[in-house]
Amino acid sequence: MSLSVAASTQPLAAETVFDLLERVRGKAPRVHAITNSVAQHFTANVLLAIGAIPSMTLAPEEVAGFAAGADALLINLGTLDEVRRQAIPVAIEAARTAGRPVSIDPVFVERSPIRCAYARELLSLKPDLVRLNEAEQSALFDNRQAVESLINEGTVLAVTGEEDRIESKQEDFRLRNGHPLMARVTATGCAGGAVLAAFASVEPDMALAAAAGLSVFNIAGEMAASEARGPGSLVPELLDALYTMTSRDIEVRLKSA
């Protein structure tokens, strides 16, 4: 069951995307990522490549300080063990108190009713941004009305797929960048979620931040795929593309409906 609807969309300008990328590079925001064990290393390198700074402690006794002192918080449910279950609500409360944007990536909720229920609890806290795919969205929401209810309460949804949809109360974006080879590298989507969190730390318009962050990551994927021989060489090419991306790279590749 698709929960998407036809929506009026906003154009996304290449110069705006590059401006936000330059803001990330200039500010060097710290993103505290409570992410899954498979994604930690790659996510940290992706954040460093765009100019951000990763921190990833899971210890419940110190995560509040890390989350409050960061510029954004990312919660990824890819490996939802007991330590992460304890750390996540502490981190969210600390980030909220400090006025930091909170992003949720409900990985694989369609495969675990327990995880899905936990993700719904997190959504009830009204995160600023949720990045998910169609299967995850269908598992979390019973109908379109439930999706719109969350959006109307201020949460922005970034729904990834063949066409990426950014849905918010004020504006929507439709994006079509990316390359199939990206799906052959584990944790690519998780690392992309961290890029969105970094962009959210420098742009208060969460929909615009998500659209720009997703575009930068997927354009880098296209650039990397054009040089890579396969998944193994895609990873270093992707990191280099994020690090060296220019306004011209974005201008010639950006695909926004």
Confidence check: pLDDT of 136 > 80: yes
- Per-residue pLDDT of 39-75, as tens digits, reads 999 999 999 999 999 999 999 999 999 999 999 999 9
User: pLDDT confidence of 3, banded at 50, 70, 90?
Assistant: low
Confidence check: pLDDT of 10 > 80: no
Torsions phi, psi for 52 (to 5 deg): -90, 175
Q: How far apart are CA 194 and CA 74, in angstroms?
A: 7
- Per-residue pLDDT of 95-115, as tens digits, reads 999 999 999 999 999 999 999
What domains appear along the chain, each with residue ranges and CATH number?
14-253 (3.40.1190.20)
User: pLDDT confidence of 7, banded at 50, 70, 90?
Assistant: very low
- Which residue has tokens 């306004």? 247
